[in-house]
């Protein structure tokens, strides 16, 4: 999961790109980068948060009326500035490139590319690989035109397996954006006067005052020319499978993805989770969300149960999202710094904690203990998503089975391990039903069901697991 933006205007774009990255900081906090174009590519990339990555001096250097930006959450490739995006290629026209997703056949593509063309991929980022493949496809075209550009994207589609939403700045030509044939990762664009903006989440367009045009369709490429013309082509046809975890956790609640309000989906998740709580015969005094993504779920759940909703955990706003921290030890270390219980609310109460998911279980265990230490009479736990059991190969940092506490354990085993008095999961059916709004009902929910829209070969899986130190 990353955040990407491409912006074309009749005035300097760096300020709006910077604002876009701030708005999408939740999508990645390991690195940030901006590329603009004036008479040359101007680039600044830095590790860490957006607010720390760019100085006023950088703003002065990032000149141009066209540019792209990126916030990084790594799923492939190590830490380090060499893996930060955007990347730049000088051929065939000069291209700057940023993407959100994960390439399953990265290793085999990289080896073939280096063997056949003797090109060297310097970083361990799949973004650089994609840029090199796109550059190769464009070099084979006789001259530049939107049609030839779309043919190059089609050639890329034929080689690459995985999820990818892309923005690319092409020197003196415009901005290209495209989405993989299954549309797993979000991408949407809007217009304001003669300016175009394409971005991962709609909230950016709303905040910057752009009129939302529409989502980029699965398998579609769009091109915003420097003359202000919009060209589009549907290149590949597959069944649309948007990532359901966007609605559970990743996206901001004020975004709309593929016509589905994230906030409305989370309210529905709360209603459906309440049904499971009632079936299990659990009685509580207060419902407490684990901030922030589970707040709408907890509000809706409390209403359905006719139980008081209380903010029993206060969040330190200066600590980032622990799920997207690069190391488990760092996630655990920051829990007590990030969350503080309100003892006056919790003491003597039967508390129902609501979180968006349980991944490794260590964070949940620590939060349950926080509530017990604050004097709770009972601590019950509810997850707005079903048990996570299967690896994600499409851009979530859960690529091996060993990372899931629920993989080979019963609900009762997991409850015991996190130290709760009861544990209630959302059902898969309840999850799908809750998010199925505006006619969209076919999601990638492989991390819950094991049903993958794009299959990974056994050798590809083995290499992914080996790269993450998995011995099984």
- Residue 471 pLDDT grade (very low, low, confident, very high; cuts 50, 70, 90): very low
* pLDDT over threshold 90, residue 32: yes
What is the DSSP code string of 212-256?
A: EEEEPPTTEEEEEETTS-EEEEE--------BTHIIIIIS-TT-E
Q: 334 CB contacts (<8 Å, ≥6 apart)?
A: 319, 322, 325
- SS3 state of residue 261: strand
2 is catalytic: yes
CATH says 255-467 is which class? alpha beta
Compute the CA torsion angle 418, 423, 427, 432 (nearest 10 deg): -60
Query: pLDDT of 79-127, one tens digit each?
Result: 678 899 999 999 899 999 999 999 999 989 999 888 887 777 888 889 9
pLDDT for the residue numbered 472: 41
Average pLDDT over residues 162-173: 97
Domain 3-240 fold is 3.60.20
Question: Which residues touch 58 (CB under 8 Å, ≥6 apart)?
Answer: 34, 44
Q: Count CA within 13 A, CB hemisphere, residue 119.
A: 19
The CATH 3.60.20.10 portion of the chain extends over: 3-240
What is the per-residue pLDDT for 418? 98
CA distance linking residue 147 with residue 152, whole number of Å: 9
Q: Is the pLDDT of residue 470 over 60?
A: no
Six token digits for residue 87: 């990347």
The pTM is what? 0.93
Annotated catalytic residue within 2, 197, 241, 444: 2
Q: Which residue has the higher pLDDT, 463 or 338?
A: 338
Burial (CB < 10 A; 0-12, 13-18, 19+), residue 213, is: middle
| Nearest C-alpha neighbor of 99 from the set 64, 123, 65, 63 | 123
Written as six digits, the tokens of 43 are: 């680039």
Best CA proximity match to 353, nearest among 311, 411, 407: 311
Backbone angles phi, psi at 71, to 5 degrees: -115, 135
**pLDDT at position 322, please?**
54
Dist CA 220 CA 230 (whole Å): 13
**Whether the Cβ atoms of residue 39 and residue 33 lie closer than 8 Å to each other:** no
Segments of the chain assigned to CATH 3.40.50.2020: 255-467
Token pair listed for 170: 């092409």
171: pLDDT strictly greater than 60 = yes
Percent of the chain topping pLDDT 70: 93
Q: Tokens standing for 345?
A: 């609310």
- Point out the least confidently predicted range of 16-25, 340-349, 402-411, 420-429: 402-411
Task: Please enumerate in sequence order all residues whose Cβ is within 8 A of that of 78, keeping only pairs 6 or more positions apart, or say none.
Answer: 124
Question: What contacts 170, CB < 8 A, 6 or more positions away?
Answer: 93, 94, 95, 149, 176
Quick one: pLDDT at residue 467?
A: 65
């Amino acid at each position: 999961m990353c955040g990407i933006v491409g912006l074309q205007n009749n005035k300097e774009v760096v300020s709006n790109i910077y604002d876009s990255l701030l708005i999408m900081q939740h999508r990645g906090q390991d690195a940030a980068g901006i590329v603009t174009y004036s008479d040359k590519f101007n680039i600044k990339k830095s590790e860490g948060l957006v607010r720390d990555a760019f100085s006023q001096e950088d703003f002065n250097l990032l000149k141009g009326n066209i540019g792209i930006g990126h916030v990084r959450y790594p799923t492939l490739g190590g830490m380090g500035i060499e893996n930060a995006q955007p990347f730049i290629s000088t051929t065939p026209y000069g291209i700057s490139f940023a993407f959100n997703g994960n390439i399953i056949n990265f290793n085999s593509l990289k080896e073939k590319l280096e063997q056949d063309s003797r090109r060297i991929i310097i970083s361990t980022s799949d973004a650089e690989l994609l840029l090199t493949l796109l550059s190769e496809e464009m070099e084979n075209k006789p001259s530049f035109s939107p049609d030839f550009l779309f043919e190059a994207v089609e050639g890329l589609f034929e080689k690459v397996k995985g999820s990818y939403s892309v923005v690319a700045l092409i020197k003196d030509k415009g901005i290209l954006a495209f989405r993989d044939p299954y549309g797993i990762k979000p991408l949407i664009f809007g217009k304001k006067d003669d300016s175009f903006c394409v971005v991962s989440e709609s909230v950016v367009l709303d905040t910057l005052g752009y009129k939302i045009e529409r989502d980029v369709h699965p398998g579609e490429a769009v091109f915003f020319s420097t003359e202000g013309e919009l060209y589009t082509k549907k290149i590949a046809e597959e069944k649309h499978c948007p990532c359901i975890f966007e609605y559970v956790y990743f996206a901001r609640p004020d975004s709309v993805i593929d016509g589905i309000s994230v906030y409305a989906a989370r309210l529905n998740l709360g209603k459906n989770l309440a049904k499971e709580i009632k079936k299990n015969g659990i009685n509580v005094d207060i419902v407490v969300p684990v901030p922030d993504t589970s707040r709408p779920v907890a509000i809706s759940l409390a209403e359905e149960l006719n139980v008081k909703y209380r903010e029993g955990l206060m969040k330190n706003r200066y600590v980032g999202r622990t799920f997207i921290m690069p190391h488990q030890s760092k996630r655990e270390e920051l829990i007590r710094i990030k969350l503080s219980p309100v003892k006056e609310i919790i003491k003597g109460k039967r508390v129902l904690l609501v979180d968006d998911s349980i991944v490794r279980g260590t964070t949940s265990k620590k939060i349950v203990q926080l509530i017990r230490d604050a004097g709770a009479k009972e601590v019950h736990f509810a997850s707005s998503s079903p048990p996570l059991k299967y690896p994600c190969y499409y851009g979530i940092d859960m690529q091996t089975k060993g990372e899931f506490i629920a993989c080979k354990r019963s609900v009762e085993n997991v409850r015991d391990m996190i130290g709760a008095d009861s544990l209630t999961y959302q059902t898969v059916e309840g999850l799908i039903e809750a998010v199925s709004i505006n006619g969209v009902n076919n999601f990638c929910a492989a991390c819950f069901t094991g049903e993958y829209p794009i299959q990974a070969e056994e050798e590809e899986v083995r290499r992914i697991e080996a790269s993450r130190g998995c011995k099984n």
